[in-house]
Amino acid sequence: MNLLLEPADHGVGRGRGGLSTKIHQLVDGRGLPLVVLVGPGHANDSPVFGALLGHLHVARLGPGRPRTRPDRLRADKAYSSRGNRALLRSRGIVAVIPQPSDQIAHRRRRGSRGGRPPAFDRDDYRGRNVIERGFNDTKQWRGLAT
């Protein structure tokens, strides 16, 4: 039996349903993609987070270096981890990421050693629908869908 193995930098992953890929995006406030990375479909979302931020460069209107640090970052629960939150904190970026229920339960189980819950602005998180609408536009793009 001859299996073809994809190199690690290719965005093709083998899962139970066959070959698949995941698209990871950073979008601006209007839903326009700033960074697009393709990863294997069987991999988790969280490890790609650092690479997404590393590729972020937004040109300024006037002279100067491109921006690499947004004011805040809205993400879904898949990106909620200590490592991702520490990365955002070290770069001075406000994280608007809800905690999954298992992380909340684990922190509460640890009691006072579990620390305080991370700050979460529910009203600001409502703006995350821009991300979902951007993904829907990407999914409807015929060249990508076929």
- The answer to whether the CB of 37 falls within 8 A of the CB of 24 is yes
Q: What digits encode the pLDDT tens for the residues 36-82? A: 888 888 778 888 889 899 999 988 888 999 988 888 899 888 888 88
Token output for 142: 């015929």
Q: Give the model's confidence band at 144: pLDDT under 50 very low, under 70 low, under 90 confident, else very high.
A: low
Host domain of residue 48: 13-145
Residue 4 falls within a domain, yes or no? Answer: no
Residue 141 falls within a domain, yes or no? Answer: yes
Q: What is the pTM of this model?
A: 0.79
- DSSP symbols for 29-47: TTS-EEEEEEEETTS-SGG
Residue 5 falls within a domain, yes or no? Answer: no
The number of folded domains in the chain is: 1
Residue 43 falls within a domain, yes or no? Answer: yes
Residue 17 reports pLDDT greater than 70: yes
Residue 7 falls within a domain, yes or no? Answer: no
Residue 134 falls within a domain, yes or no? Answer: yes
Residue 82 falls within a domain, yes or no? Answer: yes
Residue 97 falls within a domain, yes or no? Answer: yes
Q: What digits encode the pLDDT tens for the residues 96-126? A: 999 999 988 988 998 888 888 888 899 998 8
- The answer to whether the CB of 31 falls within 8 A of the CB of 52 is no
